[in-house]
C-alpha cells in the first residue's frame, strides 16, 4: 500500500476525472488515500460572503426511460424525488455544488424536486438559484424563521453549529407540503457522485429515518459525563442499541414524523440541554437522543463523511475504505475555502469539478 501513499495526489486527480465522466455513476476508490496536509492545522480561512456571480449550470434532461416528471402538477407529483437543502451566504457555494452534482449524476434530473431552506428574507437567493439553474423548474424556497428555534439553541464547540438554519431539518415536516411524504435531507458541504434515486428508494421498514450508522464509533463522547451519570437522561437509551449517525445525509419518512410528532421530542431534549448541559455538539445530539437505535441503516457509501476534518482545526482526512456515492466535508474545513487558499487537502479536488462559482477558475 506504500504506492498509494506516495502517489496520493495523482490518485486524487484521477478520481476527480472519474467523477467528471457522465457515464460513471459511482466509483470504488483505493482503500486508503493519504490526505495529510502540512498546513491544515494552521489554516483558518475567513468566510467569503461575495457569492453574487455563478456560472450557469449545464443543461440536464431526463433519459427516455424516466417517468414523466409531472412539472405541471407541481410538488405533489408522486414521481418526484424530493431533496431538501439549506441556502445561506456562507455555504451557498457548497449548496450550489451539491445541486450541480445531483443533476450531473441523475438519470432523471428533471424528476428531482429541490426544497431550499433559507432563514433570511432579505437575501435574494431564489433569483440567484434560478439564474444558475435556469432549466431547473422543480424547486421552491421555504423561509425558516430563526425565532422558531433561537431560544432553544445552546452554545457549541464551534459557532457555525449554533446557526438557526442548522436546525431547519428538525422542522421539515412542518415546512414542506403535507403531500410530500418522504424527503432526502442533505447538508451543503457535500457532493453526490451516484444517482440520487438509489438513495431515494432506500427501504426504511418501520423506521422514520434512514442514515448510514457507525456502530464502532465511541457513542459516549457525544454526551457529557453528567448525562451518563444521571438515569433521568441515559435511561432514554435503555433497550436500544444506539449507534452514531451523521444527520447531514438522511432519508426521512415525513408521514411517520408528523404522526409521532418527532419535532416536539427533539425540542424537549433541547429544553433539557438549556438547563442541564448534557451535550456539547450543536444539532446532532438531540437527533441521537430521539433516533439512535431506531435508524434504518443505509450503506456507508452514501456518507463518506468527516472530509472537513475535526470540528475545531479542520485537518485533512482520508477516505474510508469501500465504494463511494457521496462525499461529505463535515467538520470545520470546507473545500471551497481551502482551494481558494491554494492550500487544499488532496480530496478537495474531488469537490472542485462541481463548483460553479465564477471567480474560482
Percent of the chain with pLDDT over 70: 80
Q: Write down the residue that cell numbers 477558475 correspond to.
A: 361
- Spell out the domain ranges in the chain: 76-354
Q: Write down the residue that cell numbers 442499541 correspond to.
A: 241
pTM (2 d.p.): 0.86
- Residue 74: phi and psi, rounded to 5, are 75, -155
pLDDT per residue as tens digits for the range 108-139: 999 999 999 999 864 688 889 999 999 999 99
Q: Which of 119, 137, 18, 123 is nearest to 71 (CA)?
A: 137
Q: What is the mean pLDDT of the chain?
A: 85
Give the mean model confidence (pLDDT) for residues 38-63. Answer: 64
- Provide the pLDDT for residue 50: 47
Element (H, E) at 186: strand 182-186
pLDDT per residue as tens digits for the range 232-244: 999 999 999 999 9
Is the confidence at residue 26, as pLDDT, over 60? Answer: no
Give the mean model confidence (pLDDT) for residues 310-323. Answer: 82
- How many CB atoms sit inside 10 A of residue 200's CB? 17
Instruction: Measure CA 76 to chain center.
Output: 24
Is the confidence at residue 33, as pLDDT, over 90? Answer: no
- Provide the pLDDT for residue 46: 43
Distance CA 334, CA 339 (A): 9
Distance CA 18, CA 349 (A): 12
Is the confidence at residue 289, as pLDDT, over 60? Answer: yes
| CA torsion angle 38 43 47 48 (round to 10) | -60
Give the mean model confidence (pLDDT) for residues 39-53. Answer: 46
Q: Do residues 146 and 119 lie in contact, with contact meaning Cβ atoms separated by under 8 Å?
A: yes
Please indicate whether residue 5 or residue 223 has the higher confidence score (pLDDT): 223
Q: Which of 95, 116, 84 is nearest to 252 (CA)?
A: 84
Distance CA 214, CA 128 (A): 37
Distance CA 43, CA 262 (A): 39
- Provide the pLDDT for residue 60: 92
One-character DSSP codes across 31-98: S------TTTTT--PPPP-----BPPPPP----TTSPP--GGGGGG-TTPEEEEEE--TTTHHHHHHH
When mean pLDDT is compared across 127-141, 183-197, 305-319, the lowest value belongs to 305-319
pLDDT per residue as tens digits for the range 266-282: 999 999 999 999 998 88
Which are the contacts of 222, defined by CB distance < 8 A and separation ≥ 6? 244, 279, 281, 284, 285, 288
When mean pLDDT is compared across 146-150, 198-202, 247-251, the lowest value belongs to 146-150
Q: Is 62 exposed, middle or buried (0-12, 13-18, 19+ CB in 10 A)?
A: middle
Identify the CATH number of the domain defined by range 76-354.
Answer: 3.90.550.10
Q: Which of 80, 184, 91 is nearest to 136 (CA)?
A: 80
> Which pLDDT band, with edges at 50, 70 and 90, does 72 fall under?
low
Helix, strand, coil distribution of the chain in percent, nearest 5: 40, 15, 50
Amino acid at each position: 500500500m506504500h504506492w498509494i501513499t506516495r502517489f496520493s495526489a495523482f490518485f486524487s486527480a484521477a478520481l476527480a476525472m472519474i467523477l467528471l465522466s457522465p457515464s460513471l455513476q459511482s466509483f470504488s476508490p483505493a482503500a486508503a488515500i493519504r490526505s495529510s496536509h502540512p498546513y491544515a492545522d494552521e489554516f483558518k480561512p475567513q468566510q467569503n460572503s461575495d457569492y453574487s456571480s455563478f456560472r450557469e449550470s449545464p443543461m440536464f434532461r431526463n433519459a427516455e426511460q424516466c417517468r414523466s416528471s409531472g412539472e405541471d402538477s407541481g410538488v405533489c407529483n408522486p414521481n418526484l424525488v424530493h431533496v431538501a437543502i439549506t441556502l445561506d451566504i456562507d455555504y451557498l457555494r457548497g449548496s450550489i455544488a451539491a445541486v450541480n452534482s445531483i443533476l450531473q449524476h441523475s438519470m432523471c434530473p428533471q424528476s428531482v424536486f429541490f426544497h431550499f431552506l433559507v432563514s433570511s428574507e432579505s437575501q435574494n437567493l431564489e433569483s440567484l438559484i434560478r439564474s444558475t439553474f435556469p432549466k431547473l423548474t422543480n424547486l421552491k424556497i421555504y423561509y425558516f424563521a430563526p425565532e422558531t428555534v433561537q431560544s432553544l439553541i445552546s452554545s457549541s464547540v464551534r459557532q457555525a453549529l449554533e446557526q438557526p438554519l442548522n436546525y431547519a431539518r428538525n422542522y421539515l415536516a412542518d415546512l414542506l407540503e403535507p403531500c410530500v411524504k418522504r424527503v432526502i435531507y442533505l447538508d451543503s458541504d457535500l457532493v453526490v457522485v451516484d444517482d440520487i434515486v438509489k438513495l431515494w428508494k432506500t427501504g426504511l421498514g418501520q423506521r422514520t429515518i434512514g442514515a448510514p450508522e457507525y456502530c464502532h464509533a465511541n457513542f459516549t463522547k457525544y454526551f457529557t459525563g453528567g448525562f451518563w451519570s444521571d438515569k433521568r437522561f441515559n435511561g432514554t437509551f435503555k433497550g436500544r442499541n444506539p449507534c452514531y449517525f451523521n444527520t447531514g445525509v438522511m432519508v426521512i419518512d415525513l408521514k411517520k414524523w408528523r404522526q409521532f410528532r418527532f419535532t416536539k421530542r427533539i425540542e424537549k431534549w433541547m429544553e433539557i440541554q438549556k438547563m442541564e448541559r448534557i451535550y456539547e455538539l450543536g444539532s446532532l445530539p438531540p437527533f441521537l437522543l430521539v433516533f439512535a437505535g431506531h435508524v434504518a441503516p443505509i450503506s456507508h457509501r452514501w456518507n463518506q463523511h468527516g472530509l472537513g476534518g475535526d470540528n475545531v482545526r479542520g485537518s485533512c482526512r482520508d477516505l474510508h475504505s469501500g465504494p463511494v456515492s457521496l462525499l461529505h466535508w463535515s467538520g470545520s474545513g470546507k473545500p471551497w475555502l481551502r482551494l481558494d487558499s491554494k492550500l487544499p487537502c488532496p480530496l478537495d479536488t474531488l469537490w472542485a469539478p462541481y463548483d460553479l462559482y465564477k471567480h474560482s477558475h
